[in-house]
Amino acid sequence: MKMKRYLLTLAVMAFVLGMMNSGGSAEVLFKDYDVVVVENLNVPTGSPAPESSGLQMAEKAVYQLSRYSEKYKLFDMVVKEGSKSKEVPAGKKVLIIKGEVKEYTRESVGRRIGRSFIPGGEFTGTAAFAAHYQFVDKESGKVIYETDLRTGATGRNDTVEYAMDRNGEALAKLIMKYKGK
């Protein structure tokens, strides 16, 4: 009886330890890249998003990627496409980030007015931003990875601009995950 109990305990421990180690084995897709270039996001015609939202999101992505890159040593250089301030050095492996705006939901005035009549309703408004991103190897032109990121903003920060900031941060965290940091 003691032997069965011992073997069962050992089997459960092996299972638990095996599951713990399997969670940290993410692919390292962006490990070899030294430079990242962010292109302006495309805004489809007929979208509620203004034309400037693609440029604005690219700038927010560059800011967040620069911040994370400085803190975690992700890339040697983070550049927005068309930027004249920095030239990409020769011999560096370049990752290009392309994207398209998928959702642009503004906060509504009605929600803000309604919140004042709801007890504790000051945090009920929402705004959202979503984009489809492609990560392309500059040398080969092949798409390495694609993903959709959607972020929302609620409460006092219920603006699309804040949701875009969070989307840039989610993009930086995704790259950090696949960079192996």
Confidence category of residue 153, pLDDT binned at 50, 70, 90? confident
CB contact at 8 A, 153 and 160: yes
Per the structure block, which two tokens stand in for 143?
Answer: 């798409």
Residues 6+ apart with CB under 8 A from 109: none
Q: Is the pTM of this model over 0.95?
A: no
Q: How far apart are CA 31 and CA 146, in angstroms?
A: 16
Output the CATH code of domain 26-179: 3.40.50
Q: In the chain, what percentage of residues exceed pLDDT 70?
A: 79
pLDDT tens track for 60-94? 999 999 999 999 999 999 999 988 777 888 899 99
Domain ranges (residues) in the chain: 26-179
Q: Which of 178, 157, 165 is nearest to 131 (CA)?
A: 165
177: amino acid identity, one letter: K
pLDDT at 113: 58
Point out the least confidently predicted range of 10-14, 34-38, 66-70: 10-14
pLDDT at 87: 80
| More reliable by pLDDT, 125 or 82 | 82
Bridge-based pairing of strands 143-154 and 94-105 is: unpaired
pLDDT at 112: 56
Whether the per-residue pLDDT at 19 is higher than 90: the answer is no
Whether the per-residue pLDDT at 124 is higher than 70: the answer is no
Bridge-based pairing of strands 126-137 and 143-154 is: antiparallel
| More reliable by pLDDT, 66 or 18 | 66
What is the pLDDT averaged over residues 151-171? 89
135: enclosing H helix or E strand: strand 126-137
| More reliable by pLDDT, 144 or 84 | 144
